[in-house]
Amino acid sequence: MTEREIERLIFAYPEQYLGEDLQPVTIRAANGTALRTDLIFRDSDQRMVVVEVKKGVVPRTTVAQLLDYYGLLRQQGYADSDIRLMIAGQGLDPIQRPSLERARIEYREVLTDLFKKSSAKERISLDWEAKLEGLKNREIAAFYRCQLLLGVEAISGTRWRLTYRLGKARRWTVDICSHGALVRQRGHFDGDAEYWRPLLTNKDIKAMPGDVLRFYLEKRTDCGRFLAAQREIAAKRLF
């Protein structure tokens, strides 16, 4: 997986890879061109979060790069308190930590597993690619593409489905549908419908025959929260 592919995954799902519900944004310099940082987000306090993504151990030059981006944002009129700087990488030399602390640069070591994945061409078959290209809901298409890149269990043909398991049990299936993506949760936990309702744009959540709970993913935020909720449900052992 290339560094650029990893950037796309983080841009689409910052909550999953950076641990925060961040909103992607584009900031333009005075000449109208986009600032040439890897990723820029806005956090829940409306601060700009500038993220530099590095495949492998973070080079020492990365701090200087981020400080350049900081200077450009200051020129755009952003206050010091409105800017956060962050590095996402696979490893950090301990000798660099004092430099990051002095510059108030955050570090997220979140990419190790992504670097072990094979290339996009090996992960997304031609039939999946054709199906995703035809989807009108581009946010759902991006979700499926990212999950396929990560090697999530999938089938294609009559149904276009991703499968998520807890242990060996198949717990959620996600099928392409007219709404975006149809999720079927196999089995119930106490208050599960009310657990999912505030996380999703579409509030149509329904218990179905066969011990199934049905709901929909329609937006990028739905997808990110769905993935984060899986981790929380596993951690709390709700099933």
Using a pLDDT cut of 90, give the percent of the chain over it.
Answer: 51
- Looking at the fold, whether 101 and 146 belong to one and the same domain comes out as no
Q: What is the pTM of this model?
A: 0.58
- Both tokens assigned to 48: 């700009």
173 bridge partner residues: 163, 184
- Looking at the fold, whether 61 and 78 belong to one and the same domain comes out as yes
Torsion angle of C-alpha atoms 199, 161, 168, 17, degrees rounded to 10: -50
Of 28-42, 85-99, 198-212, which range is least confident?
A: 28-42
Is it the case that residue 214 has pLDDT exceeding 80? yes
Domain count, the chain: 2
pLDDT confidence band for 118 (50 / 70 / 90)? very low
- Looking at the fold, whether 127 and 229 belong to one and the same domain comes out as yes
E-state strands within 57-179: 83-88, 105-108, 153-155, 161-166, 169-177
- Looking at the fold, whether 87 and 158 belong to one and the same domain comes out as no
